[in-house]
Structure 1
Amino acid sequence: MKLKNTIALALGVILVSVSTNAQKTAFKKDEFKQWAQTPPMGWNSWDCYGSTVEEHEVKANADYMVKNLKKSGWEYIVVDIRWFVENDKAGGYNQKDPRYVMDQYGRYLPALNRFPSAKDGQGFKPLADYIHSKGLKFGIHIMRGIPKKAVEEKLPIKGANGITADQIYTTELQCEWLKDNYTILADKPGAQEYYDSLFELYAQWGVDFIKIDDLSRPYHEGEINLIRKAIDKCGREIVLSTSPGETPISAAAHVSSHANM
């Protein structure tokens, strides 16, 4: 299969990589700046497949990259938006009746009809293992915030001593173009624990890159602080890219001290 629209991952995308150390270790301040000192080069499923990419397509593009591009520095394979929706559509998003897949803690999981290797609760680990076996790195996309479904069902937040999703959200500043999630109130008990639980999961999967959407316009400083702390605690080097672009100049100092891209 021909790799289409191979791109250098542009400014506004966050890369996440995980330490080989099995134990969690907190990274030193600003250590993350060493993880992507030049613009990462790779392929993102959005440009060819939108929100409908499937596992076999991701693997085919990884195979192409190894054969044709790895020697020139290309190394990231990134699964973009809505990998947790079973019935999304091409040319837009199914916001009428999406079937979300998530665990008991309100964390999205790969849709099995699109990513069959995620069976038995394995998540993206088998796919990440395949990518890593090729000498490449694996990335995913998420939206900022907490799933509306988790709020509606009052799902517990892992590690938050009984705090539930409905206690840490607000409808203010909800993403205008995709309504899957609500904004997280960064100062609420349980907010940090929710992001901590996300990156604990992604570290277990072997994620090396993460693009987090709807962080930059407007600039969500509170949630970015939560994300930075969660990455630093997860024990895996995770290159962080904020998205989309056009981060306000007034936030330049903050984003440079919290994100890689």
Structure 2
Amino acid sequence: MHSKRIRAILAPVATAALVLASGAAAVTAAAPAQALENGVARTPPMGWNSWNTFGCNISESLIKQMADAIVNSGMRDLGYQYVVVDDCWMNSTRDSAGNLQANSSRFPSGMKALGDYLHGKGLKFGIYQAPLDKTCAQYFNSYPGATGAQGHEVQDARQFAAWGVDYLKYDWCSPSGTIDDQVRTFAKMRDALASSGRQILYSINSNSVHDKTGPRRNWGDIANIWRTTEDITNEWDTGQTNGYPMGIQNIVNVTVPLASYAKPGAFIDPDMMEIGRGGMTDTEMRSHFALWAMMASPLIMGNDVRTMDSATQTILKNANLIAINQDTLGLQATQISNDGTRRVLAKKLSNGDVAVALFNQSGSTTTISTTASAIGKSGSSFTLTDAWTNATTSSTGSISAGVPAHGTVVYRVSGGGTVTPSPTPSSTPSSTLVSAASGRCLDVPNSSTTNGTQPVIWDCNGQANQRWTFSGQSIQALGKCLDAPSGATAGTKVQIWDCNGGTNQQWNLTAEGTIRSVQFSNLCLDVYNNNTANGTTVILWTCGSAANQRWSRV
């Protein structure tokens, strides 16, 4: 849901051990993926959630109508099985025994009866709760009051089990809470569900431990699915710098680098889908679905299923993309290439095929190309099956398509053998760049992806706007390249810009820890005036050996 309506207050992340004593560059591998092994979410869950379209305007009748529509439209038989009742279903007070109560005017038959109805339709029952004293709707004054699980975790878990709940959405909305606070709190409900006597898929939204730049930890040890960004909106790209809400392209930029975290039992969640809710073109809606499928994301509908038009049904019922999403390997697509406009993602499948997405992030039609070897296939004869048209073509290794603005072409590549693709900017573990002078990290302010944004130093926090990937001689963050402006001289501020392969976007990392421009070979990355304060600009300056020109990759 809707947790990111207020900016979190976060404890600073310690940086004392980040700078290597020698000053030489170093790399640490990305954290290995972990999984909550509770027997569910072996593939990403599919279903429907009430919040995107209805918010607090929900009732027993509405949920039953939606369940009927899911069955009658054929969506259930395609895998859409979870029906999740989001916030605003409960009374503001518990009963005398401390048990949760349904709002009797909205759900007069009670929640167990609703669960029985859904199970009778061959569907699964999802419900919403929050870990503190209030739910999100009460925090944001959109509901007169609802009680969170704080101090009642075991009791609530047992009650959910008794009601036949199959899926719990657990949503942190407080403006405060450190990482450690939230790990402990979310783990309480994880353990309570494990002891409830029923297998319940555990979905969390950790609010103040992720923001517009992405999550600060891999939550796969705590939950089956976990949110990675602020709330989604039915827009392509919000163009905002405050991080809320998140358009489709904004979310993709955050989510793609997290591929190493996904596995059966633990999937990242870029939020419920907006397909069928307006706000985007049909091409953009198709990209939305294709990219969620490639990223092994939960396919949770957020539209009114009762009134789906044919275009919406065509997208949501695409059996080829559903099969890619539901592949039993449970892998998220990795990035093969990205020049800031043309993005190629590849997802290995359990039968040896590889799904490849050619994603056009620009505003005009362009040709996007890759090769079978680049996506992890060996051999000389391949069959490409278009996920949208089902048309097949033969290839000796070239994979290419003219892709419309904001469009995504997806091929399933069969034939040949499989190999491990070469690391690329987002499949290579990202690093922070820590200044030896201050211990602060190279940071893209406000996670802005606007061309010309000037990096600064800031307290290290591990967020995506401080995570830099290295491909050849380019240094990238948020899908943009670190760039030395044309005609740069000593004192020119560096910037981020669409990647173009120019020598002004190429850098040499020296053994001494300096980062030297290829085009302007006498200039190095420098923290202005040897200042150490947050927000200090990073510039180009005549190369030397001072600490404000030495960086460590951590």
Tell me the TM-score range normalised by the shorter chain. 0.5 to 0.7
What residue is the counterpart of 2:205 in the other structure?
Answer: 243
1:229: Cα distance to partner?
A: 0.9
What residue is the counterpart of 2:396 in the other structure?
Answer: none
1:144: Cα distance to partner?
A: 1.2
**Contact 2:94–2:147 (CA under 8 A) maintained in structure 1:** no
TM-score after normalising by structure 1 = 0.61
What residue is the counterpart of 1:133 in the other structure?
Answer: 120
| Corresponding letter in the other structure for 2:217 | A
Of 74, 81, 86 in structure 2, the residue corresponding to residue 80 of structure 1 is 86
Matches within 5 A, 1:155-166: none
Match status 1:207 vs 2:165 = yes
Closer, same or farther in 2 for the Cα pair 1:110/1:146, shift >3 Å? same
| Corresponding letter in the other structure for 2:61 | H
What residue is the counterpart of 2:183 in the other structure?
Answer: 221
1:183: Cα distance to partner?
A: 8.8
| Corresponding letter in the other structure for 1:58 | I
**Aligned counterparts of 2:194 and 2:148: Cα–Cα separation in 1:** 24
The SS at the match of 1:116 is coil
Identity of aligned residues (%): 32
Q: CA RMSD in A?
A: 2.9
Match status 1:109 vs 2:73 = no
**Aligned counterparts of 2:115 and 2:90: Cα–Cα separation in 1:** 16
Match status 1:62 vs 2:49 = no
What residue is the counterpart of 2:390 in the other structure?
Answer: none
1:101: Cα distance to partner?
A: 4.2
The SS at the match of 2:159 is helix
**Aligned counterparts of 2:104 and 2:146: Cα–Cα separation in 1:** 19
1:198: Cα distance to partner?
A: 0.6
Q: Following superposition, which runs of at least 4 residues in structure 1 exceed 6 angstroms of deviation?
A: none
Tell me, which stretches of 5 or more residues in structure 1 are unaligned?
1-8, 10-28, 86-99, 119-123, 149-174, 185-190
Match status 1:37 vs 2:42 = yes
1:258: Cα distance to partner?
A: 1.4
**Aligned counterparts of 1:183 and 1:74: Cα–Cα separation in 2:** 28
The SS at the match of 2:217 is helix
TM-score after normalising by structure 2 = 0.30
The SS at the match of 1:126 is helix
Please give the per-residue CA displacement for 1:58-82, whole angstroms capped at 9, x wherever unaligned. Answer: 0000001011101211101111102
Please give the per-residue CA displacement for 1:28-55, whole angstroms capped at 9, x wherever unaligned. Answer: x9431x3012221111111221112010
Matches within 5 A, 1:19-38: 30-32=36-38, 34-38=39-43
User: Greater helix share, 1 or 2?
Assistant: 1
**Contact 2:130–2:149 (CA under 8 A) maintained in structure 1:** no
Of 191, 195, 210 in structure 1, the residue corresponding to residue 153 of structure 2 is 195
The SS at the match of 2:109 is helix
**Aligned counterparts of 2:148 and 2:58: Cα–Cα separation in 1:** 24
What residue is the counterpart of 1:161 in the other structure?
Answer: none
| Larger relative contact order (CA 8 Å, sep ≥ 6) | 1
Closer, same or farther in 2 for the Cα pair 1:206/1:180, shift >3 Å? closer
**Aligned counterparts of 1:181 and 1:116: Cα–Cα separation in 2:** 19
| Corresponding letter in the other structure for 1:103 | D
1:84: Cα distance to partner?
A: 1.2
Closer, same or farther in 2 for the Cα pair 1:244/1:129, shift >3 Å? same
Of 31, 52, 58 in structure 2, the residue corresponding to residue 53 of structure 1 is 58
Aligned residues: 179
**Contact 2:129–2:170 (CA under 8 A) maintained in structure 1:** yes
Structure with max Cα Rg? 2
1:177: Cα distance to partner?
A: 3.6
**Aligned counterparts of 2:82 and 2:215: Cα–Cα separation in 1:** 28
Closer, same or farther in 2 for the Cα pair 1:146/1:107, shift >3 Å? farther
Please give the per-residue CA displacement for 1:70-105, whole angstroms capped at 9, x wherever unaligned. Answer: 1211101111102114xxxxxxxxxxxxxx242124
